[in-house]
Structure formats: C-alpha cells, structure tokens
Amino acid sequence: MKRSILIFLLIMICTSCYSPDRDCSRFKTGTFEFQTYLNGEMVTSTFIRNDSIEIDRFQERVDTSSVRWINDCEYIVKNKNPKNMAEQQPLHIKILTTKKDSYTFEYGLVGETEKQRGMVRKIE
C-alpha cells in the first residue's frame, strides 16, 4: 500500500512540473494560416504579420489590423478600417503552446471573459 502511494506521489510530482513549450518570438512575423468552421463549412484565413501590422485575407476580402504586443506571447489586434461596430472591438490573443511551425492560442474580445481556442500554422 505504501509503495502504491509513493508511486502515485512521484507521478504527480513529475507531471505537475510539465510546462508547455512557448517560443512565441518565432511567430511575431511571417505568413500564417488559420482554419475554422463557419456555418458548418471549413474555411481558411491567411494573414501576413510584421511586428505591428497584420494583413488578413479571408474570402476575397482584405483587412488590415494593428498589432500591439503585451509580452512575447500576448497581443491585441485592432482593425484599422472597421466597417461595423463588431469590427471596432479589439481582440486579445494569448499564445498557449508552440510547435515548430504552429501555435495554439486563446482569443476573445478585450474586456470579455468568454474565450475561444484555435490553432495557427506558419506557412512562410
């Protein structure tokens, strides 16, 4: 019995020390692709980001947004030319984990508690 408790505690200690890889600086610039479901259909958005500007191409529409980095893994995106009230609201994006050519992130409107998750792949 003591042995199983000791093994359990050892496993808990080892797994609690796990920290996901977050080399966010690799994703401040480049060309990226984001896929999501919209009305039951998989759609793709492509965007080019330099440190402070993001140009997004989605369904033959191009938008430009400003990017303000809070730290290496969090930034605020704000549409430069909003066409309606919804586009005026800035998004807070937090990179949760990174891999060689992709990252998982959490995003939501600034000031809102509801968050969603997504994955972006760096293509250039």
Encode pLDDT of 45-93 as tens digits: 999 999 899 999 988 889 999 999 999 999 999 999 888 887 889 999 9
Report whether pLDDT(113) > 80. yes
Residue 111 has pLDDT above 70, yes or no: yes
CA dist., res. 1 & res. 3, Å (int): 5
Confidence at residue 90, expressed as pLDDT on a 0 to 100 scale: 95
Query: Which residues are CB-contacts of 28 (< 8 A; sequence separation ≥ 6)?
Result: 49, 51, 69
Q: Where are the domains of the chain?
A: 21-122
103-109 contacts at long range (C-beta below 8 A, 24 or more positions apart): 103/24, 103/27
- Residue 63 pairs in a beta bridge with 56
Average pLDDT in the 2-13 region?
Answer: 61
Residue 76: predicted pLDDT:
96
Q: What CATH number has the domain spanning 21-122?
A: 2.40.128.380
